[in-house]
């Protein structure tokens, strides 16, 4: 499902801002974009999103200043300072620069990146991590609210499609008892065109000799082979099942898709068994509505 949520928290080091948005996707795919100083939290945040979201292509973006920049405590990287000093001494010896003062060397060492670094205490780092997680959780709540609105729109669309299916199914049910009568009438008409004529009538016309027993047998075979009552009953049952599913809480997307597949199976059988034009048109309308349901079901959690 598509959705968007954002949150901002005023923390001690500076504001933490989180944005989460999703686009429709059959499975769950989570992408996390963080500034470099937050890289250590990527897996924790990815897991948090995965606990709350089941389907969709999710993008989580977090921005926040590096809390270390707000620290007033400097830490000397002694190992790096010693290494630089030894390198400078060796370079002096190689170049014969014995007149270089120790003060100059000291300034060079201190100006080297990462020799003096600002330190963030463990307590403050732990507090910052909690604030970060709290911000993402708030963004996820807002994200869920936006998905609820879309979910209601999808539910309305599903109900509309089911109503279309019911109307088309009602047409099919009305045509079932008429099928045998029309088949018999059409068959009798075709038989008159090919069977031999009998004696003349009083009006000078000809009587057509039709084997009524064979005609009845043909109609009976047609009714047997084109009987769609079971498929109609199962299709109605699937409609009821989908309506009940739409009332459930939790993840229903895959269940809706499965029921839609079963509905397609039944309506395909109805179409293959029947040669009635009205039924064929209704089958097309039902299949179109089911396909729209299946498309939308891919977006539902």
Quick: pLDDT tens for 173-210: 888 776 556 655 565 566 555 555 554 444 444 455 55
Count how many domains the chain has. Answer: 3
Are 62 and 76 in the same domain? no
pLDDT for 192 equals 59
Confidence of residue 114 (pLDDT cuts 50, 70, 90): low
pLDDT-wise least confident of 52-56, 81-85, 107-111, 266-270: 107-111
Query: Does residue 67 surpass a pLDDT of 70?
Result: no
pTM of structure: 0.55
Residues 96, 29 share a domain: no
Cβ-based neighbours of 262, under 8 Å, separated by 6 or more:
234, 238
Q: Which comes out higher in pLDDT, residue 211 or 278? A: 278
Instruction: Tell me if 157 is assigned to some domain.
Output: yes
**Pair 96, 136 in one domain:** no
Neighbours of 187 (CB within 10 A): 16
pLDDT of 60 over the 90 cut: yes
In a domain? residue 286: yes
CA distance linking residue 199 with residue 250, whole number of Å = 76
Long-range contacts formed by 148-151: CB under 8 A, 24+ apart: 150/1, 150/2, 150/3, 151/1, 151/300
Same domain as 63, residue 47: yes
What pLDDT, on a 0 to 100 scale, did the predictor assign at position 165? 95
* Least confident segment among 8-22, 93-107, 130-144: 93-107
Reference 23, options 139, 146, 158, 161; nearest CA is 146
Residue 107 lies in a domain: yes
| Domain range for 110 | 72-119
Q: Residue 283 — pLDDT band, cuts 50, 70, 90?
A: very high
pLDDT beyond 60 at 144: yes
Q: Is the per-residue pLDDT at 97 higher than 80? A: no
123: pLDDT strictly greater than 60: no
Strand ranges in 24-125 using DSSP code E only, listed in sequence order: 28-33, 56-63, 73-76, 116-119
**Looking at residue 79, what is its pLDDT?**
80
Residue at 246 is within a domain: yes
Residue 61 phi/psi, 5-degree rounding, is: -120, 125
Quickly state the pLDDT bin for 220 (edges 50, 70, 90): low
In a domain, 159, yes or no: yes
For range 277-281, the mean pLDDT: 87
Alpha helices (H) along 20-77: 42-52
The DSSP call for residue 27 is S
Inform me whether the pLDDT recorded for 134 exceeds 70. yes
pLDDT of residue 155: 87
My answer on whether 23 and 108 are in the same domain is no
Q: What is the CATH number of the domain that holds 21?
A: 3.30.230
Whether the predicted pLDDT of 280 surpasses 70: yes
Instruction: Return the residue matching tokens 């009438």.
Output: 185
In a domain, 242, yes or no: yes
């Amino acid at each position: 499902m598509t959705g968007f949520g954002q949150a901002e928290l005023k923390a001690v080091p500076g504001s933490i801002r989180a944005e989460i948005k999703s686009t429709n996707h059959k499975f769950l795919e989570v992408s996390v974009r963080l500034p470099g100083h937050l890289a250590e939290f990527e897996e924790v945040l990815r897991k948090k999103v995965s606990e709350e979201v089941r389907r969709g292509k999710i993008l989580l973006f977090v921005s926040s200043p590096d809390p270390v920049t707000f620290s007033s405590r400097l830490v000397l990287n002694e190992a790096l300072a010693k290494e630089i000093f030894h390198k400078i001494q060796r370079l002096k010896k190689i170049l014969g620069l014995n007149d270089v003062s120790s003060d100059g060397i000291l300034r060079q060492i201190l100006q080297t990146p990462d020799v003096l670094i600002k330190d963030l205490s463990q307590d403050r780092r732990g507090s910052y991590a909690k604030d970060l997680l709290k911000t993402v959780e708030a963004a996820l709540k807002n994200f869920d609210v936006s998905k609820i609105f879309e979910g209601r729109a999808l539910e309305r669309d599903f109900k509309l499609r089911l109503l279309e299916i019911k109307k088309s199914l009602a047409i099919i049910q009305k045509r079932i008892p008429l099928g045998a009568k029309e088949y018999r009438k059409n068959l009798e008409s075709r038989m008159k065109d090919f069977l031999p004529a009998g004696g003349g009538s009083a009006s000078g016309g000809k009587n057509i000799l039709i084997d009524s027993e064979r005609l009845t047998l043909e109609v009976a075979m047609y009714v047997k082979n084109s009987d769609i009552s079971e498929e109609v009953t199962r299709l109605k049952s699937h409609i009821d099942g989908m309506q009940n599913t739409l009332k459930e809480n939790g993840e229903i997307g895959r269940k809706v898709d499965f029921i839609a597949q079963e509905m397609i199976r039944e309506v395909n059988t109805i179409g293959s068994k029947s040669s009635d034009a009205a039924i064929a048109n209704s089958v097309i309308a039902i299949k179109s509505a089911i396909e729209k349901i299946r498309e939308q079901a891919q977006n539902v959690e």
